[in-house]
Amino acid sequence: MMMSEYYTLPLAVIGLIVIILFLLDSIWNILQTCRALLSPLFLPAEETSLLKKYGPWALITGSTDGIGKAYACELAKRGINVVLVSRNEERLKKTAEEIETKYMVKTKTIAADFSLGQKAVDTVKEKLGVLPINILVNNVGKQYEYPMYLSEVPEQDLLDIISINVGAVTMMCRAFIEDMKKRGSGAIVNVSSGSELQPLPLMTVYAATKAYIKSFTAALRFEYSRYGITIQHLAPFFVDTKMNAFSKKLQRNGFLIPDAEEYAKYAVMTLGKMDESSGYWTHGIQTFFTKFSPVWLRTYVGAHINLNLRKDYLLNRNKQ
């Protein structure tokens, strides 16, 4: 028997096992998504079950715009009071009034800038006082202004991206998880991004911070889920928000790129039902097919998408 024939069978068996495990994982994820999205249609009580399951107060970071604001509205729709945290006092006040009038829940606003690191977390804790937080949504995130090479990104922007995307998520979890543990219940949602699925040239640091969130959240779940705490990792693909203001292509909301309200409507339905989710059904399909290809191919495709977005952005900027 030739050496290569000797190895063929074991290698084929290993390959088959890997494919079966991958398919089982993906099918399980699809089944969980179907359950999360369909159950409110057949079980109307599901609409209020987050309130019953976790309690009356949620805190959402980055909640005066985009996904954070829409997520806060979805929670308020279910009777949950919301603490809104962003930088701008005026926008906070306006958003809080909007939510109170529309959903008849209580709100609290806290102005804090997460690029300031632990200082922002301390401000949040101080302003909250003894109010217990039952659901913590670490949504705030910072992205490049447009796709850039590392040396083009202003130094302060890079530091802010790391402070906000890595520092704030980590320190906010640390600040609230012990109380949740003592109460034996709670939920933490850490918002990552589809960019975590591979290295992403021209958004190098942003994607790396999101890969951190993925790893951090999975390990945190292992540490704390035994205390009755749900720890969810939410990884959207493109959503039409001002974060993508650099590209007109990413603002055509629709089938693949929902607006924040449409996205949050589905994302909240997955809370308490899925530990990991893209939060939106077409994003789930994109995640499924992305994972089929090798990482080097995803990196190559991601780089080309970003090169094209950069070209469009620079062309438009030069026209103005």
Ligand X SMILES: NC(=O)c1ccc[n+]([C@@H]2O[C@H](COP(=O)([O-])OP(=O)(O)OC[C@H]3O[C@@H](n4cnc5c(N)ncnc54)[C@H](OP(=O)(O)O)[C@@H]3O)[C@@H](O)[C@H]2O)c1
Q: Is the distance from CB of 239 to CB of 143 less than 8 angstroms?
A: no
Which pair of tokens denotes residue 5? 């024939």
Which pair of tokens denotes residue 120? 């922002």
Is 206 one of the catalytic residues?
Answer: yes
In the three-class reduction of DSSP (H, G, I as helix; E, B as strand; rest coil), residue 18 is classed as helix
In whole angstroms, the minimum distance from the beta carbon of 48 to ligand X comes to 25
Residue with Cβ nearer ligand X (33 or 139): 139
Q: Phi and psi of 148, rounded to 5°?
A: -140, 160
Residue with Cβ nearer ligand X (114 or 224): 114
Residue with Cβ nearer ligand X (67 or 82): 67
Judging by beta carbons within 10 Å of its beta carbon (0-12, 13-18, 19+), is residue 99 exposed, middle or buried? buried
In whole angstroms, the minimum distance from the beta carbon of 41 to ligand X comes to 26
Q: How far apart are CA 266 and CA 264, in angstroms?
A: 5
Q: Is the distance from CB of 281 to CB of 232 less than 8 angstroms?
A: no
Which pair of tokens denotes residue 77? 């729709």
Which residue of the set 103, 144, 146, 206 is catalytic?
206
Residue with Cβ nearer ligand X (55 or 206): 206
Q: Is the distance from CB of 229 to CB of 181 less than 8 angstroms?
A: yes
In whole angstroms, the minimum distance from the beta carbon of 1 to ligand X comes to 52
In whole angstroms, the minimum distance from the beta carbon of 66 to ligand X comes to 2
Binding interface with ligand X (CB under 6 A): 62-68, 86-88, 91, 112-115, 139-143, 164, 191, 193, 236, 238-239, 241-244, 260
Residue with Cβ nearer ligand X (112 or 268): 112
Q: Is the distance from CB of 99 to CB of 82 less than 8 angstroms?
A: yes
- Distance of alpha carbon 111 from the chain centroid: 21
Active site residues: 206
